[in-house]
Chains A and B, each alone.
Chain A
Amino acid sequence: MINYIYPEYEIIRNPDKCISCGVCVRQCANEVHENINKTNKVICDDSKCVNCHRCAVLCPTRAIKIVKSGNTYRENANWNCKTIDEIYKQAQSGGVLLSGMGNPENYPVYFDKILLNASQVTNPSIDPLREPMETRVFLGKRPDDIMRESNGKLINNLPPQLPLSMPIMFSAMSYGSISYNAHESLARAAAQLGILYNTGEGGLHEDFSKYGKNTIVQVASGRFGVHVGYLNAGAAVEIKMGQGAKPGIGGHLPGTKIVGDISRTRMIPEGSDAISPAPHHDIYSIEDLRQLVFSLKEATQYKKPVIVKIAAVHNITAIASGIARSGADIIAIDGFRGGTGAAPTRIRDNVGIPIELALASVDKRLRDEGIRRNVSIVVGGSIRSSADIVKAVALGADCVYIGSSALMAMGCHLCRNCHAGRCNWGIATQVPELVKRLNPDIGSKRLVNLLTAWRHEIKEMMGLMGINSIETLKGNRLMLRGVGLNEKELQILGIKHAGE
């Protein structure tokens, strides 16, 4: 069959700058660049290009750039190029469209329509360079009442808490969906930063058990790699009910990625597809979830907080309320922009709700019901900057999960072809010669750099609001104003419009 699709991107090579060093040829796992007949001249096949920028970044003379191909269909406000191409693709393949990373479509980003306050005259802003500025947070359930010994001394009746140096954690990305080196980078960075990373549903590689107190171990519907040692290896256990990129379906890892250590870690045979069931087959209702929460607590002697991660869907408030009463210590909510290694495109692009709205409603609902202390709230699903974090905390989050931003720190260029398994940056791949492209010394350093920078920015923003401890930013919605939002949106976010 003829391929109807014209390449989406075009590689422009500047002949004046190209020194024919061949780095592009050697670095492109998609074999886009090719030497002509053993000469030094290079040509490229645009149709194979995924626009990951590996060649453009490594080219020592910056001779390469990648641009959107100018080839276009007859203009049509209804049938845009992407839609037409997708039809051609499916007509050719007969398959479900697959994509990686988060929903890229043009839905509103509420974080971009929220502005922060600053102190002027009536109270002083605080200078983080000169005064202490505290970003430490604790995640976990807190009892309603204090207890005292007979001599009046307060008894520490707090259930296990997760201390974090800042309200940021790396979200779940499984060993398998991302590489060994990517996991090592995340684990080392988390340990250095005093935060946590999350194993995802692929189990914990034995090499990383030493990062245990900076690790969240995940239990998903496939239960890959779950055993009692695993549950006790981390600082907390997360039950993955859903994921923002694909609410309602389970994780998919093709058999080609189930090789060597991955098969051992997941405890499944090499080459077998790891298809997690859509639901947990022992959780068909909230009371079942409660049983799993307590099974995990029993298995960990009530020493580890249990996190329940859910995708932000329409009735998120009711679900969150149920979870807050299920015995779970922490709720993690993943917005519809949340990333993934592989998801059916239609699901990724059309299911779920924005995290800002989900967070605002859940925080309010839990307060209205007087059960906000029962749980901490962690939100993810496209936290892109320190400003997003400050806004999320002010809306009511205790902490955020970052996934895509962390991957970008390690080199990801958002080409969204994770599902293909040939990540040129050594992240979403298991091909040994590609995996080695991510040196964890560099990966962890870049992650530490990113979060150190973000933490500085968070402190600056807190300081200008006159806040010197993150606790008093949490849920402080008076520090937020909306711009260009309608009444309903403002009401759901629980904020005023700018100028009010």
Chain B
Amino acid sequence: MQREGQVRIPAGCAISGIIDKSGNRMSGEAIIDSIAVMRERSNGLGGGFAAYGIYPEYKDYYAFHIFYDSSTSKKECEEYLERHFDIINLSKIPTRKVKGITDSPLIWRYFVIPLPTKLSDSQLDEREYTARCVFRINTKIEGAYVFSSGKDMGVFKAVGFPEDVGRFYRLDEYEGYCFTAHGRYPTNTPGWWGGAHPFALLDYSVVHNGEISSYDANRRAIEMYGYKCTLQTDTEVIAYIIDYLHRKKALTFSEIASIIAAPFWQTIKGMSSEERELHEYLRIMFAEQLITGPFSILVGFNGGLMALNDRLKLRSMVVAEKGERVYIASEEAAIRMVESSLDKIYAPKGGEPVIINIAGGGELD
């Protein structure tokens, strides 16, 4: 059997997300309940969560979540980490026994900060340095896979149904201001935990439902900028595009949405001259980052969340609000399950981003 990354596996999916605009933290219970409703949309071959605001005591440190196939790979990886980072804390990620979650790899968590001398020698900024180290581990150290590397956030994923994965990782015991979840319906049997979603790099995490037709165009373009798409999944390439546009090119999330789900030329033609100039510029300048084919994605980042559909809206996605809470899911039922009386509920149009920045955080648009 080929592992994820050795073969490209298309998948259908369910996604769900909850964010508190005031930044108040909530338990992970609700997101598990929400994604569990959409069991029909996954097939037990992958599930996962991204949680933001869960490590307030370590919020200045990169939280690495790492899968190891063996203790040898763990040893090799830890040696690497020690050479490049100051490790503040390390521990096994706490799990509980759950029926349906088997063949677990070794799952470890490290809170790290780049070694100042190494960092200054590298002439890179701290985030680029960290991202490069993550790539290095994932491509060069066999059996080690960093699946979460942001500050004050974490990804939790496994092969199984998402609700089982949530309980396995004791997500109900974490508190955060934003959660996203993913249930996967792959058309093949990956059997490798690294292939489950969300996919994350630094604090950017992506859950995605869809199968993009632009995959190889996007992949080959983004690999030009030093990214390596080792998993061959849509989610991975979307995450890199987000990282590239947001972190490296300093574009805002609304600009990013106009690039990856660009308005059609005929729509641009009808815009005011200033708008038209902007969109023409973005489409020409970042043509290779346009994504076509069906997708609905939730992009988590420190301080906020963006939900976005492809330009034709070929995947379902609804957004609802109740007080300070915003809920986004593939199906309305997944929202009603956790909050039955909503202030409003609507389906955003294709290509129309929903960007939520929490109070005192997020980006300034």
Contact = CB atoms under 8 A, between A and B. Distances in A.
A220 interface: no
Interface in A398-450: none
Contacts of B210: 123
B249 A146 contact: yes
Interface string A469-484: 1011111111100000
Contact of A367 (B212, B223, B282, B283): B223
Interface string A111-130: 00000000100111010000
Contacts of B251: 146
A477 B220 contact: yes
A122 B187 contact: yes
A478 B216 contact: yes
A156 interface: yes
Interface stretch (A99-107, A132-140, A278-286): A132-140
Contact of A468 (B8, B221, B224, B312): B312
Contacts of B224: 367, 370, 372-373
Contacts of A472: 213-214, 217-218, 290-293
Nearest to B295: A123
A217 interface: no
A138 B293 CA distance: 22
Interface stretch (B74-82, B104-112, B152-160, B262-270): B262-270
A102 to B, nearest CB: 30
A465 interface: yes
A125 to B, nearest CB: 9
Contacts of B216: 475-479
A262 to B, nearest CB: 38
Contacts of A477: 216, 220
Interface centre among B213, B220, B288 (most CB of A within 10 A): B213
A467 B12 contact: no
A158 interface: yes
A154 interface: yes
Given A136-B265, A472-B292, A466 B213 contact: yes
A468 B223 contact: no
B311 interface: yes
Interface in A366-420: 367, 370, 372-373, 396
A154 B293 contact: no
Given A123-B10, A370-B224, A477-B220, A468 B292 contact: yes
Interface centre among B8, B11, B264, B278 (most CB of A within 10 A): B264
> Per DSSP, are chain A's interface residues mostly helix, strand or loop, or mixed?
loop
A35 to B, nearest CB: 59
B249 A145 contact: yes
B314 interface: yes
A123 B293 contact: yes
Interface string B278-291: 10011111011011
A131 interface: yes
A142 interface: yes
Interface centre among B215, B216, B224, B265 (most CB of A within 10 A): B216
B287 A471 contact: yes
B213 A467 contact: yes
A161 interface: yes
Contacts of A370: 224-225
B190 interface: no
B294 A124 contact: yes
Contacts of A396: 220
Contacts of A475: 216-217, 220-221, 288
A465 B283 CA distance: 21
Nearest to A396: B220
A465 B213 contact: yes
Contacts of B314: 123-124
Size category of the binding interface on chain A:
35 or more
B217 A126 contact: no
B131 interface: no
Given A119-B213, A466-B292, A132 B278 contact: no
Contact of B8 (A367, A373, A478): A478
B302 to A, nearest CB: 20
Contact of B288 (A122, A467, A474): A474
A348 to B, nearest CB: 34
B284 A142 contact: yes
B281 A469 contact: no
Contacts of B214: 467, 471-472, 476
A132 B269 CA distance: 13
Given A146-B285, A478-B8, A467 B187 contact: no
B359 interface: no
A158 B287 contact: no
B332 interface: no
Interface string B205-236: 00000111111111011011100000000000
B126 interface: no
A367 B255 CA distance: 25
B281 A156 contact: yes
Given A134-B265, A478-B216, A156 B277 contact: yes
A126 B187 contact: no
A136 B214 CA distance: 16
Contacts of A471: 214, 217, 283, 287-288, 290
Interface centre among A123, A124, A156, A158 (most CB of B within 10 A): A123
A326 to B, nearest CB: 19
Contact of A122 (B211, B281, B285, B291): B211
Contact of B294 (A123, A367, A473): A123
Interface string B35-67: 000000000000000000000000000000000
B254 to A, nearest CB: 12
A467 B265 CA distance: 15
Interface centre among B211, B255, B282 (most CB of A within 10 A): B211
12 contacts: A123-B314, A136-B265, A145-B249, A146-B249, A154-B255, A367-B221, A466-B294, A467-B213, A469-B292, A475-B221, A476-B215, A478-B8
Given A119-B213, A469-B290, A472-B291, 16 more contacts: A122-B11, A123-B213, A123-B314, A132-B266, A143-B285, A146-B249, A146-B250, A146-B285, A367-B224, A370-B225, A466-B294, A467-B214, A468-B311, A473-B217, A475-B217, A479-B216
List the 5 closest A-B pairs by CB distance, nearest first.
A472-B214, A478-B216, A466-B213, A476-B217, A123-B211
